[in-house]
Structure 1
Amino acid sequence: MAFSGKVIWITGASSGIGKALARAFAKQGAKLILSSRNKTALEEVKNSCENCANIHVLPLDLEDYNNLQNKATAAISVFKRIDILVNNGGISQRSLVKDTAINVDKRLMDINYLGTVALTKAILPHFIKNKNGHFVVTTSIVGKIGTPLRSSYAASKHALHGFFDSLRAEQHQNKIFVTLICPGFVRTNISKNALIGDGTLQGKMDMATQNGIDPAHFANLMLTAIKKKKEEVYIAGIKEKMGVYAKRFYPKLLSILIRKLRVT
């Protein structure tokens, strides 16, 4: 029960990994603030959790990153503190570079990168004042490896690694921790809700996603990493993990293998 009594704010909490995290943290007695754009879905997640009296719903839109300071102030006021911010909200993409409109690239960066950065900056003074805090960020294996059909998504996730590695180094003396979680394929609706080249939704689940890790199991592994204050963790299948190490030690080989992935 490592998280009993901890105040944890989760973005992207209305479905998928965020929903599974909410249930896992609630089971351990944490006090939760759940955020996403969909208030109705958030209420459903809240009611599905144990100890739902200790759960507060706070809708927000990461794309509206200029107005997230007010959301941070509201979140702190709920339980008078935040111990852990789980930056889990985001959106994916499935389209070739040549077919992807620039406004789609911008939207991916606005939501996945700038929204996450803005919320982090809004909470950072609170963590500094308390000389304690923990930023948890759901990035992706493609935050380490760019693959076909995910150029904008990979770019936004790579950017998160750069930002949070810098933040970790800057705030170490204030006992502020950063954990980067890199999922492989997880059985959620992320591919259904992914943007295609014209900005509309793909509307179908990828086979690899369908065969991915169960979200509840993923959440339990993620909680273990957070508890241990790991800096960077890959929660993925063996092929995805091997890809990360191949990128580091055998980049040319990985490049050749990635070219062979199906892109249509």
Structure 2
Amino acid sequence: MYPGFQFNGKVVWITGASSGIGEALAERMAARGSHLVLSARNESELQRVATLCRNAGAGDVIVLPLDVSRYDTMEAAAQQVLAHFGKIDLLINNAGVSQRSLCVDTDFEVYRQMMDINVLGQIALTQAALPAMIARGEGHIAVTASVAGKVGAPLRTGYCAAKHAVMGFFDALRTEVASDGLQVTTITPGFIRTNVSKNALAGDGKPTGTTDDDIAGGMNVDDCADVIIDGFEKGEPEIAVGIGPEMGLLELKRDNPVAAFQALEQMAAQIRQAS
């Protein structure tokens, strides 16, 4: 366990802040008096969220449009934040995209995007922020991974591969920076009611435009954000959040991996039969 993170007066940089979990986290951190850096590709939506955060009681709020697949822009973005605030207390790597297609039907380009956006973009931004944190001897880095970073699920071969990679990277990073006074938190949501499945890439690389039944019946995004904030304040290095049966897979995979594999194989068979 870590010392509980206190948000008041802290500089928090959130990627994927224009909607979903990122937006909900930003509002809650604003209400706790954080200074915020809001990043995503959609500047108009970021401005909308920034207004909500200012009304909720945030300190200083800056909008910093960012495409995490553009690795060459990360260093300049980090320097811009440091020039404005002088520090980064908490970086939340929350940007990402999901997938909904069988492996045999998936263009290889989709796999590349899964890795570029969900893995390499997070690593590049983290590397850009790390030196200043290490120099201060304090700082906190977090990533929104997924239950899909712990178990393999059908229609998500690329997404699961990316989220497993994210979990591995940040778990390893945690070990490296602990002696520098830095902390790393991994967040593993299950099904949360956001646009994640609507924006997920089909096999041809286009967004599906539809919401899965699992997502539609998942945890409310505001409740999800509350759990995550509570986890930070309690100092949890890994925060699992969700209400559905998918959360049971985390324990099942650990205690009885064969049973977990069989359950997911049955799920895949049902999907293929229905298609």
Give the TM-score normalised by the residue count of structure 1: 0.97
SS of residue matched to 2:44: helix
| Aligned with residue 101 of structure 2, among 95, 99, 103 | 95
Q: 2:241 maps to which residue? A: 235
Among all aligned residue pairs of Structure 1 and Structure 2, give the percentage whose two residues are the same amino acid: 42
Cα drift, residue 237 of structure 1: 2.0
Cα deviation, 1:78-117, whole Å, max 9, x if unaligned, reads 2111100001000000000000111100011000000000
Conservation of the 8 A alpha-carbon contact between 2:32 and 2:57 = no
Q: 2:65 maps to which residue? A: 59
- The aligned runs of 1:74-223 (5 Å cut-off) are 74-223=80-229
Q: 1:38 maps to which residue? A: 42
Q: Which amino acid counterpart does residue 115 of structure 1 have in structure 2?
A: G
Aligned pair 1:17/2:17, yes or no?
no
Q: Matched residues in 1 for 2:59 and 2:217: separation?
A: 35
Query: Where do 4+ consecutive residues of structure 1 move more than 6 Å?
Result: none
Number of matched residues? 264
Cα deviation, 1:198-252, whole Å, max 9, x if unaligned, reads 1001001111111111111111110111122312121012522211111111111
Conservation of the 8 A alpha-carbon contact between 1:138 and 1:181 = yes
SS of residue matched to 1:260: helix
Q: Matched residues in 1 for 2:135 and 2:189: separation?
A: 31
User: For the aligned residues, what is the CA RMSD?
Assistant: 1.2
Could you list the runs of 5+ residues in structure 2 that have no partner in the other structure? none
Conservation of the 8 A alpha-carbon contact between 1:191 and 1:202 = yes
Q: Matched residues in 1 for 2:59 and 2:107: separation?
A: 44
SS of residue matched to 2:68: coil
Q: Matched residues in 1 for 2:216 and 2:9: separation?
A: 35
Could you list the runs of 5+ residues in structure 1 that have no partner in the other structure? none
Give the TM-score normalised by the residue count of structure 2: 0.93
SS of residue matched to 1:59: coil
